[in-house]
Each structure stands twice: as structure tokens, then as C-alpha cells.
Amino acid sequence: MSHSILNGVAAATTHRDRDDLDRALAELLAQFIEPRSLALLRLVDEEGQAPRLEERVRVDGRGGQAAGLADMAHDFTAWQRHAQRGEVVRCGAADRPMTVFPLAGAHNVIGLLVLETARPLSERRIELIRGILRIVRNHLAILDYGEQDTLTGLLNRKRFEGQFDKLRHRMATPAEAAGTAQEASWLALIDIDRFKSINDGYGHLFGDEVLLLISRLMRRAFRGADQLFRFGGEEFIVILENASENGALLALERLRSAIATYPFPQVGTVTVSIGYTRITSQDIPTLCLARADAALYYVKSHGRNGVRNCEQLLAAGHLAGDLKCGTVDLF
């Protein structure tokens, strides 16, 4: 068994995509543990809300029940103390024992692995699973190092295109296409107003501090599932999934207002201009960015410190149909 487990771990850690890695890990554990049910849950920590767990992968084996397993773990507050200590928790009924493992990221807990088995797991098997999870954690740390911006910790430009393609693929599936008409996915391009004057007037050290503080304000302004990127220099990108047009505008306005009212050390007031557009399943990154950039350029040329939607500007006749790009350096 040890030989097949090693091969399975080696195969799982060839994946660079987090969703593919989650599925490969679940399939590996299901193969040699043969659980009644297995659920891999990721922690979603949104500003102003209690941390919650979201099911990413589910495997139901023989005798597994579709309901009940992950439901017991969705409230993260019940597991938080154990998870932060790295403790494995045994629970469940005598005839349906459960074992809950914390999933560690580079700096904190990122989720739980929940196994329901026919018999309680032996200490040897628990330690084996913990060893596999440590290997996966190290693999994720290497991926994060290559795909995160070193200053802000946001996702970088390299990661953007892959995430955009995954989103388009999800939108093209029948299940996604049958979703709520009022909800859509949106791409917003954010640019710090007069950032060059900040660097020139206060120095690059204070310029870097502005970038870092804005990245923190971005994390507070958006949901845990929204994707945040530093695109280069003073430009950021946000991808919002499953949001109404009004919901996207409210979130972006919340960010704009938070930045405009934040007392940046030494620099004082900083503002941003934001252009955004709806993402379609036929989009490619350059076209979607061009539309968001056209809206951003409109904001820049009309006083800055604002949020505008490309489609609304087109409908009002404020943008040319060819959407010539303004500020963003496309691929």
C-alpha cells in the first residue's frame, strides 16, 4: 500500500490548479481509506461575517449518506479552536465514526477534511493522512510563491489568465448557464490616481505602503470568494462571480469610498478610478480588459475617483464602439 500511496501523492502534487489538486487529494484518500463519505471544506472568511466552511469536493462511498456529513462541519466556530491547534478531532456516532483533520495553509488554517468511516481510524492511518496533508501544504506554499504578488500578497498577473479561463469554462457549462439571470460575473480594473506623484513626492517606500494598504482595504471590501489581483504597478483587478449589476457596483463603490476616506500615513488622501464590465463565456482576457479599461479611462478623464460600467457608458453613447484602450498594458 505504501508504494501506491507514494505514487498517488506524487501524481496529486503535479497539479497546479487548486481545484484539480483538491479533487486529486480526495480521490487519493478515498482510494486507500475507503470511507463511507469524504468532504473537503475550504474556509471562507468574509469581512463582517463569521467564518464559514464551503464544500469543495465530496466523495460518497458504500453506505455514504449525501446529507449530514459536511453539514456537521459547516459552522467553523465549532472547530476553530481545534483547527488552529492542529488537532485531529474524532466525533460522530459509534456506528458512523467521523474524523476531522485541519487543512493548514502557509500561515493559517484554510479548511477541514472530514472523513466518515465504517470503523474508527487507527493512529497509524491518522498519522499517514496528516503526513499527506503536510506534503500538500508544502506544494501549495510553492504554488503561492510563484503566483502571488510579493508586496501585497494578492494574486499576480501570471495567475489571472488561468483563473479567467476557468471562469469562462464554468460559465459555459449547462448548470452555470441555467443560473439566475440577475447574477453575472464582472471584471473591474482599478487604478490609483496620480500614483507617480506619490512616488515622486514621498518616495517609493511610501508608494509601496500605499499599495500594501490598498490591498488590505480590497480584502475588506470584497467577499472571500472574489478574486483579487495586482496586475502591475498601481493597477489591480477584481473578478466578482455570482453578483447582480447593482451588487457589483455597491462592492466597487464600497472600495472606492474606503480608499478615499482612509488616512494614508504621510501621503494623506489617495483615490482610485475604477472601470468594470460584465464577463461573458465568449470573452478572452484582452477583450474583457479592453472594455474595463475604456470605462476606467472615462473615469480618469472625468475627474477621477469614480466607478463606471462599460456597458452603461456604451448604451449612453459615451464610449466609441471600437473601445480603444486607454491606460492598461495588455498582453
pLDDT band at 46 (very low <50, low <70, confident <90, very high): low
Average per-residue pLDDT in the chain?
85
Q: Exposure pattern of 212-247 as b/e (b: 16+ CB <10 Å)?
A: ebbbebbbebbbeebbbbbbeebbbbbbbbebebeb
Whole-number pLDDT of residue 235: 97
pLDDT at residue 271, as a whole number: 98
pLDDT the model gives residue 321: 64
Q: What is the pLDDT of residue 63?
A: 52
Looking at residue 223, its pLDDT comes to 80
Q: Tens digit of pLDDT for each residue in 291-317?
A: 999 999 999 999 999 999 999 999 999
Domain that holds residue 40: 2-145
Nearest to 275 by CA among 224, 214, 323: 323
Same structural domain, 169 and 260: yes
Asked if pLDDT for residue 66 goes beyond 60, the answer is no
Cβ neighbour number for residue 51 with a 10 Å cutoff: 15
**Secondary structure string (H, E, C) spanning the chain:** CHHHHHHHHHHHCCCCCHHHHHHHHHHHHHHHHCCCEEEEEEEECCCCCCCEEEEEEEEECCCCCCCCCHHHHCEHHHCHHHHHCCCCEEEEECCEEEEEEEEECCCCEEEEEEEECCCCCCHHHHHHHHHHHHHHHHHHHHHHHHHECCCCCCECHHHHHHHHHHHHHHHHCHHHHCCCCCEEEEEEEEEECCHHHHHHHHCHHHHHHHHHHHHHHHHHHCCCCCEEEEEECCEEEEEEEEEEHHHHHHHHHHHHHHHHCCCECCCECCCEEEEEEEECCCCCHHHHHHHHHHHHHHHHCCCCCCEEEHHHHHHCCCCCCCCCCCCCCCC
Number of domains composing the chain: 2
- Would you state the pLDDT for residue 331? 39
**What's the whole-model pTM score?**
0.71
| Whole-Å CA distances, 293 to 114, 170, 249 | 44, 24, 16
pLDDT of residue 67: 40
| Integer Cα distance of 11 and 118 in angstroms | 27
- pLDDT tens across 134-189, in order? 998 888 778 777 788 989 989 998 889 888 888 887 887 655 454 455 689 999 99
In a domain, 18, yes or no: yes
pLDDT band at 51 (very low <50, low <70, confident <90, very high): confident
| 228 and 163, same domain (yes or no) | yes
14 and 92 in a common domain: yes
Over residues 186-202, the pLDDT tens digits come to 999 999 999 999 999 99
**Does residue 15 lie within any of the structural domains?**
yes
In this prediction, residues 249-267 reach a mean pLDDT of: 96
11 lies in the same domain as 63: yes
- Residue 326, pLDDT score: 43
Q: Which residue has the higher pLDDT, 209 or 51?
A: 209
CATH number at residue 111: 3.30.450.40
CA-based Rg of the chain, rounded to a whole angstrom?
A: 23
Mean of the pLDDT values across residues 259-281?
96
| Residues annotated as part of the active site | 234
**200/284 same-domain check:** yes
Angstrom distance (rounded) from CA 132 to CA 227: 28
Note the pLDDT of residue 260.
Answer: 98
- Residue 200 falls within a domain, yes or no? yes
Percent of the chain scoring above 70 in pLDDT:
86
Residue 107 lies in a domain: yes
Give yes or no for residue 65 having a pLDDT over 70.
no
Region of residue 304 (phi > 0: left; psi between -120 and 50: alpha; otherwise: beta): left
**Nearby residues of 315 by Cβ (< 8 Å), 6 or more positions away:** none
Task: Take residue 260 and report the three cell numbers written for it.
Answer: 478615499
Residues 196 and 114 in one domain: no
Residue 323 forms part of a structural domain: no
CATH of the domain at 281: 3.30.70.270
Whole-angstrom distance, CA of residue 115 vs CA of residue 117: 6
The predicted pLDDT at position 161 comes to 85
**pLDDT at residue 328 above 60?**
no
From the list 77, 55, 78, 48, the residue with the least C-alpha distance to 223 is 48
pLDDT digits (tens, 9 = 90+) for 71-124: 555 567 777 788 878 899 998 888 889 999 998 876 678 889 999 999 999 999
